[in-house]
């Protein structure tokens, strides 16, 4: 099976020198968020993102600060009267891009009946809409993420728990391991991530024999390279494609 992060792993980090949005940023930048809301969300991003990727802070130091960031961002978004019915248009109008080769990845996994588990600290409703609009939301895809909770009128009132942030992506937020139990015949995993927090995404899998961890090193490359090389089996720099994983899958699924 494949276990993958979404933001900046399946989606692109940059294009022509410009940053691409995360699923949160898509909402933040959209017409449904007020100017005041936009400013506050941007202030949070500028304060907390450098902490998220700071190689000199431990995960223990970062965890409570990430809970603070996500909670504050979700509270702000929940004050914006976002409509469930607006999500598709918000995604359509955004600058989000999936990495080159996403079609081959999703279609190949579907064709060969390989489960794709997307484990994301982003916004589930947004990322599902992205893959739906890209026509790759096949039945072998399962998503665990932060989902919006809408009232009877379809207005966002809060986010459903448990809150998933960059550094609690492990079985503590998977509410039991039923999903993985169903897949207990799957003993080989390819894990895709872009953060040091993505390394624990496969922790709940009961019968792992082989795991290949592929990491996209997107930001603060020089400072983070050592840690990424120690933790991931393959580290990709300046690579906005899924070519490496597609090549490996082609080899495993077709040529062997």
Tell me which of 1, 2, 3, 8 binds Mg ion, using CB under 5 A: 8
Q: Are 220 and 13 in contact (CB under 8 A)?
A: no
Place of tokens 């089996």: 233
Residues between 9 and 38 with contacts to ligand TMP, criterion CB under 6 A: 22, 24-25
DSSP 188-204: EEEEEESSGGGGGTTTT
* Per-residue interface string for the shown chain with ligand TMP, residues 104-143, x marking contact by CB under 6 A: ----------------xxx---------------------
Q: Structure tokens of 157? A: 């009132």
Regarding 166 and contact with ligand TMP (CB under 6 A), the answer is yes
Task: Give the one entry of ligand TMP, Mg ion, none that residue 122 binds, where binding means its C-beta sits below a cut-off of 5 to 8 angstroms depending on kind.
Answer: ligand TMP
Q: How far is the CB of 9 from Mg ion (least distance, A)?
A: 5
Tell me which of 5, 28, 129, 240 binds Mg ion, using CB under 5 A: 5
Place of tokens 């490996």: 248
- The helix (H) or strand (E) run that includes residue 124 is helix 124-133
CA angle 81–85–90, rounded 5-degree value: 80
For residue 27, count CB atoms less than 10 angstroms from its CB and return exposed for 0-12, middle for 13-18, buried for 19 or more.
Answer: buried
* Per-residue interface string for the shown chain with Mg ion, residues 180-219, x marking contact by CB under 5 A: --------------x-------------------------
Query: What whole-number distance in Å separates Cα of residue 197 and Cα of residue 73?
Result: 19
* Per-residue interface string for the shown chain with ligand TMP, residues 51-70, x marking contact by CB under 6 A: -x----------------xx
C-alpha distance from residue 156 to each of 67, 79, 152, 163 (Å): 20, 8, 10, 16
DSSP annotation of 96 reads: -
Task: Give the one entry of ligand TMP, Mg ion, none that residue 13 binds, where binding means its C-beta sits below a cut-off of 5 to 8 angstroms depending on kind.
Answer: none
What are residue 216's DSSP bridge partners? 236
The CB density around residue 94, as the number of other CB atoms within 10 Å, is: 19
Regarding 180 and contact with ligand TMP (CB under 6 A), the answer is no
Q: Which stretch binds Mg ion (CB under 5 A): 7-15, 27-35, 41-49, 102-110?
A: 7-15
Q: Which of helix, strand or coil describes residue 134?
A: coil
Task: Rank residues 5 and 28 by Cβ distance to Mg ion and give the closer one.
Answer: 5
Task: Give the one entry of ligand TMP, Mg ion, none that residue 120 binds, where binding means its C-beta sits below a cut-off of 5 to 8 angstroms depending on kind.
Answer: ligand TMP
**Residues labelled catalytic:** 5, 7
**Chain residues that interact with ligand TMP, rule: CB under 6 A:** 5-8, 22, 24-25, 45, 52, 69-70, 73, 120-122, 166, 195, 197
């Amino acid at each position: 099976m494949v276990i993958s992060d979404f933001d900046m792993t399946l989606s692109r980090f940059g294009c022509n020198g410009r940053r691409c949005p995360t699923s949160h940023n898509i909402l933040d930048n959209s017409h449904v968020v007020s100017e005041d809301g936009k400013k506050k969300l941007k202030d949070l991003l500028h304060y907390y993102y450098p902490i998220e990727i700071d190689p000199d802070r431990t995960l223990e130091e970062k965890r409570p600060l990430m809970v603070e960031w996500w909670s504050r961002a979700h509270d702000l978004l929940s004050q914006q009267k976002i409509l469930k019915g607006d999500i598709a248009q918000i995604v359509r109008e955004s600058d989000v891009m999936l990495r080159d080769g996403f079609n081959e990845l999703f279609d190949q996994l579907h064709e060969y009946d390989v489960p794709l588990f997307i484990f994301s600290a982003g916004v589930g409703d947004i990322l599902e809409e992205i893959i739906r609009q890209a026509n790759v939301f096949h039945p072998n895809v399962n998503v665990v993420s932060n989902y919006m909770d809408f009232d009877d009128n379809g207005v966002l009132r809060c986010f459903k728990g448990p809150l998933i942030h960059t550094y609690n992506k492990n079985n503590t937020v998977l509410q039991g391991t039923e999903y993985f139990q169903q897949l207990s015949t799957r003993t080989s995993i390819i894990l895709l991530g872009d953060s040091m927090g993505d390394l624990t995404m496969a922790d709940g899998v009961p019968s792992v024999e082989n795991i290949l961890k592929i990491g996209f090193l997107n930001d603060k490359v020089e400072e983070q390279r050592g840690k990424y090389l120690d933790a991931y089996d393959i580290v990709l720099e300046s690579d906005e494609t899924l070519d490496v994983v597609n090549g490996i899958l082609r080899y495993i699924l077709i040529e062997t």
